[in-house]
Amino acid sequence: MVDAALERFALSTVEKFVQEVCWRTYWKGWLERRPQIWRQYLRNVRRFNAVSSPELLKRAAEVCSGRSGVAVMDRFARELCETGYLHNHARMWWASFWVHVEKLPWQLGADFFFRHLLDADPASNTLGWRWVAGLQTRGKCYLVRRSNLERHCSDELLADATGLDRLEGVEPVVFQNSEANLDPEPLQDLKFDWTALLGRYGLWIHADDLAPEIGELSKARPCALAAFTSHSSCRQPGLSELRQERLERLLSDAVDRADRHFQCAGEVSDTESMAIGLAEWAQRQKLRHVIAFAPFVGSIADAIPAIRQSLDREGCDLLLYRRSWDRDLFPHALRGFFPFWKQARQVLRARKGSEALKRPSQRLGP
């Protein structure tokens, strides 16, 4: 998207659009440098569900189902459950209401969003909730205010004013400093090395990257293509039916496009686990390697150790690659967005006119 924009316009002309796209890369890169934040978030979701009082869990369920008693917030909750979507402002307002008005654990609210949002992303969702709570940028949080809703919401949204008085004079919740170490970890290189592909190899398509026909892997010449729906890709416990169906459609669409580009038959299979599915596919196709774009910090990446172990038993290697876009930009996701953006602008100037993401006419492989 960014390269297409920069082919037609100067960066200064489309800077705001490009900046919005880069926010997603920033969140991805920030969490990629600090995977411990994701792991701690998952532990806390399990812990709060296991040890919280019945009263807290009951109240959390009421707020999630649109029974908080604040009419506009309840409307947002129902919209999310029914459609899988919320406007960005509504996401911030509702998250702030959950944390600073209802005073519920932010991790349980983030889990609710992650299970229902069709565009749910581990980095954007987890770190966005941390920002609302005041953990992402020390000393700053996001407070929902009645005046802000009245300024930006249509009359229809506020026709029922029940509970709006609870959004006046909201005071922030102050969290104790009990977080994981925030020091960034080194990034894995994950560069492309086509010389490592000796023998038959297959291309694995997963939900973290649904466009293998664009970018560096477009030059591959796989013997087989596959995607899997499973506990670690689509069928995660607790995901809404809308979200599961959406992920399955996206995987099928990605395989169809890859079929046409790579001229290679693909399949989408349901499996008990990603590790089992990939191993059985590799054995059936007699593959020496499985290649893929590297999944980001999140549920698919969490399954990688088990996948490697399972493939290894079949005498098959897993080779993961990182797109040049991410290799160029992730190293700069060290602090806040605007220091990142300052470095990103230099990277983008260097990329302007490059062939990095154009589809090559020649495919490589044995």
Check pLDDT > 80 for residue 38: yes
Check pLDDT > 90 for residue 365: no
- Same domain as 148, residue 259: no
pLDDT score for 272: 85
- Same domain as 134, residue 114: yes
- Same domain as 56, residue 69: yes
| pLDDT tens per residue, range 190-232 | 988 888 888 999 999 999 999 999 999 999 999 999 999 874 4
The CATH number of whichever domain residue 76 belongs to comes to: 1.10.579.10
pLDDT score for 210: 96
Mean pLDDT throughout 86-112?
Answer: 97
Please give the Cα distance from 289 to 278 (Å, whole number). 11
DSSP assignment of 74-143 equals HHHHHHHHHHS---HHHHHHHHHIIIIIS---HHHHHHHHHHH-TT--HHHHHHHHHHHHTTTTTT----
Q: Does the residue 186 lie in any domain?
A: no
Mean pLDDT throughout 27-51?
Answer: 96
Q: Does the residue 267 lie in any domain?
A: yes
More confident residue, 255 or 235: 255
Check pLDDT > 80 for residue 235: no
Residue with tokens 């054995």: 283
User: Which of 132, 167, 202 represents a domain boundary (last residue)?
Assistant: 167
Mean pLDDT throughout 254-270?
Answer: 94
Domain that holds residue 136: 35-167
pLDDT score for 354: 52
Please give the Cα distance from 60 to 189 (Å, whole number). 42
Of 78-87, 164-173, 344-353, which range is least confident?
A: 344-353
Q: Does the residue 172 lie in any domain?
A: no
Check pLDDT > 70 for residue 328: yes
What mean pLDDT value characterizes the chain?
Answer: 91
Mean pLDDT throughout 321-327?
Answer: 94
- Same domain as 154, residue 41: yes
pLDDT score for 194: 84
Q: Does the residue 178 lie in any domain?
A: no
- Same domain as 44, residue 154: yes
- The angle formed by the CA atoms of residues 273, 278 and 282, to the nearest 5 degrees, is 155
- Same domain as 262, residue 200: yes
- As for how many domains the chain has, the answer is 3
More confident residue, 139 or 178: 139
Check pLDDT > 80 for residue 178: no
pLDDT score for 77: 98
pLDDT confidence bin for 234, thresholds 50/70/90: very low
- Same domain as 42, residue 14: no
| pLDDT tens per residue, range 43-83 | 999 999 999 999 999 999 999 999 999 999 999 999 999 99
- Same domain as 340, residue 293: no
Q: Does the residue 175 lie in any domain?
A: no
Q: Does the residue 199 lie in any domain?
A: yes
- Same domain as 120, residue 86: yes
- Same domain as 13, residue 119: no
| pLDDT tens per residue, range 102-147 | 999 999 999 999 999 999 999 999 999 999 999 998 889 999 999 9
Contacts of residue 198, defined as CB under 8 A and 6 or more positions apart, other chains included, come to 288, 289, 366
Q: Does the residue 182 lie in any domain?
A: no
| pLDDT tens per residue, range 14-24 | 999 999 999 99
The CATH number of whichever domain residue 239 belongs to comes to: 3.40.50.620
- Same domain as 341, residue 304: no
- Same domain as 94, residue 24: no
Q: Does the residue 5 lie in any domain?
A: yes
